[in-house]
């Protein structure tokens, strides 16, 4: 007989893209325990992802960048007061393990490399396994007869969708619209600026409108690319939208062009096709776009992959993993996409 739980907490304090990839878990968890109250611990910036999620009761913020020991123990006290009887840790850090252990949660599920768990789940070993499949598989100790659905999803309100509609109001209905996200936390994951600029010039000739999307820190990057490309049909929305407003805009676009970064995963979650650039990272890490019409641009090189998350500079000094992906190649693929 399956054990029931009243209060469950899920911990996922990784980057935005990783958190989006985790959204299937809370939906599948609800299928197993439909009457349980489920809360989630995220970083402050990722908390917005679950703002309208119907499977989450409460969002608990843990600021890993600025945390101090006193904040850690304040959070431990807060979790203790909630009296959770089950936790699921998507993160495998020691900090995450100690947080849940000291919170007095009786049953703690996590990956095999996580310490202080009561249920250890081995990662599925297959080069084509998407990270979302491994994440929903964390539920395997809790149910023996579930066929877990790893689809990611984002829930938007009418407010975000109306904002996106207003942004697109001035665009002619016959024009194709592409989202472009040139940023990334890691420098080596970025396709070159001049390549983005050349591509937007080519897209303009095909009557395709480009919307640059990114956070406030990426505003200047987008402005530099737009200035370099001298494309008056490009709209820069970087730094102008909240995370969910960006998702609502991406939802209405015809195609999303992105580095191996959060916008890729947001596009998958709102069912917009993605063309993605993979340089220092590779698909076997599990963070590839997974929908039928998605495409990955990458070049087979002896030096790939060079790191799990990318780095500040190319270890070989050439960055050929990105430089060998030409604007012409990407442009031809976009044209073919819209002509089929």
Tokens representing residue 247 in the block: 């998702």
Whole-number pLDDT of residue 2: 61
Residue 225 phi/psi, 5° resolution? -65, -45
At 335, the pLDDT band (50, 70, 90 cuts) reads very high
- Could you tell me which residues come within 8 angstroms of residue 188 by beta carbon, excluding any fewer than 6 positions away? 279, 280, 306, 307, 310, 311, 312, 313, 314, 319, 321, 322
CA distance 125 to 85: 30
Tell me: pLDDT of 325 over 90.
yes
State the CATH class of domain 159-339.
Answer: alpha beta
Q: What percent of the chain has pLDDT over 90?
A: 89
Q: Where are the domains of the chain?
A: 7-142, 159-339
Q: What sign has the CA pseudo-torsion 66, 67, 70, 76?
A: positive
Distance of CA 150 to the CA centre of its chain: 14
Residue 230: pLDDT band (50, 70, 90) is confident
From CA 286, how far away is CA 99, in angstroms rounded?
27
Of 246, 245, 205, 240, the closest CA to residue 219 belongs to: 240
Q: Considering the domain delimited by 7-142, tell me its CATH architecture.
A: 3-Layer(aba) Sandwich (3.40)
Residue 185 has pLDDT above 60, yes or no: yes
Distance set, CA 195 to CA 198, 256, 307, 317, 326 (Å): 5, 16, 23, 18, 7
- Residue 127 predicted with pLDDT over 80: no
How far are the Cα atoms of 27, 53, 220, 331 from residue 148, in angstroms, in the given order?
10, 18, 41, 37
How does pLDDT run across 25-61, given as a tens digit for each residue?
999 999 999 999 999 999 999 999 999 999 999 999 9
pTM: 0.95
What pLDDT sits at residue 304?
A: 97
Q: Is the confidence at residue 111, as pLDDT, over 80? A: yes
Token pair for 99: 């947080």
Question: What does the pLDDT read at residue 1?
Answer: 45
Name the band, by pLDDT with cuts 50, 70 and 90, for residue 3: confident
Q: What is the pLDDT of residues 149-161, one digit of tens each?
A: 999 999 999 999 9
pLDDT band at 144 (very low <50, low <70, confident <90, very high): confident
pLDDT single digits (tens) 268-311: 999 999 999 999 999 999 999 999 999 999 999 999 999 888 99
Q: pLDDT tens, 258-279?
A: 999 999 999 999 999 999 999 9
pLDDT value, residue 126:
78
- The answer to whether the 7-142 and 159-339 domains have the same CATH topology is yes
Task: State how far the Cα of 123 lies from the Cα of 137, in Å rounded to an integer.
Answer: 8
């Amino acid at each position: 007989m399956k054990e029931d739980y009243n209060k469950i907490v899920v911990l996922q304090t990784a980057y935005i893209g990783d958190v989006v990839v985790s959204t299937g878990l809370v939906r599948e968890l609800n299928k197993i325990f439909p009457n349980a109250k489920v809360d989630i611990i995220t970083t402050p910036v990722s908390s917005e992802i679950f703002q309208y999620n119907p499977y989450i009761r409460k969002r608990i913020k843990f600021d890993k960048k600025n945390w101090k020991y006193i904040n850690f123990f304040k959070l431990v006290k807060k979790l203790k007061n909630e009296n959770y009887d089950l936790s699921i840790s998507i993160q495998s850090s020691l900090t995450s393990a100690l947080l849940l252990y000291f919170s007095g949660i009786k049953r703690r599920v996590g990956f095999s490399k996580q310490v202080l768990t009561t249920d250890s789940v081995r990662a599925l070993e297959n080069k084509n396994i998407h990270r979302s499949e491994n994440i929903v598989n964390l539920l395997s100790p809790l149910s023996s007869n579930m066929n877990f659905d790893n689809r990611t999803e984002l829930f938007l309100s009418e407010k975000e969708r109306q904002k996106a509609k207003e942004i697109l109001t001035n665009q002619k209905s016959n024009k194709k619209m592409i989202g472009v996200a040139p940023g990334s936390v890691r420098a080596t994951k970025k396709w070159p600026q001049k390549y983005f600029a050349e591509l937007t010039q080519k897209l303009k000739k095909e009557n395709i409108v480009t919307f640059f999307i990114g956070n406030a820190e990426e505003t200047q990057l987008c402005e530099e690319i737009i200035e370099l490309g001298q494309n008056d049909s490009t709209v820069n929305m970087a730094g102008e939208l909240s995370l969910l407003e960006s998702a609502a805009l991406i939802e209405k676009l015809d195609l999303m062009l992105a580095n191996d970064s959060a916008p890729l995963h947001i596009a998958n979650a709102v069912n917009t096709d993605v063309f993605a650039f993979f340089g220092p990272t590779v698909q076997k890490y599990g963070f590839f776009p997974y929908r039928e019409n998605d495409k990955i641009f990458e070049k087979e090189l002896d030096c790939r992959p060079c790191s799990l998350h990318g780095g500040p500079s190319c270890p070989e000094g050439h960055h050929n993993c990105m430089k060998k992906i030409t604007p012409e190649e990407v442009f031809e693929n976009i044209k073919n996409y819209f002509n089929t």
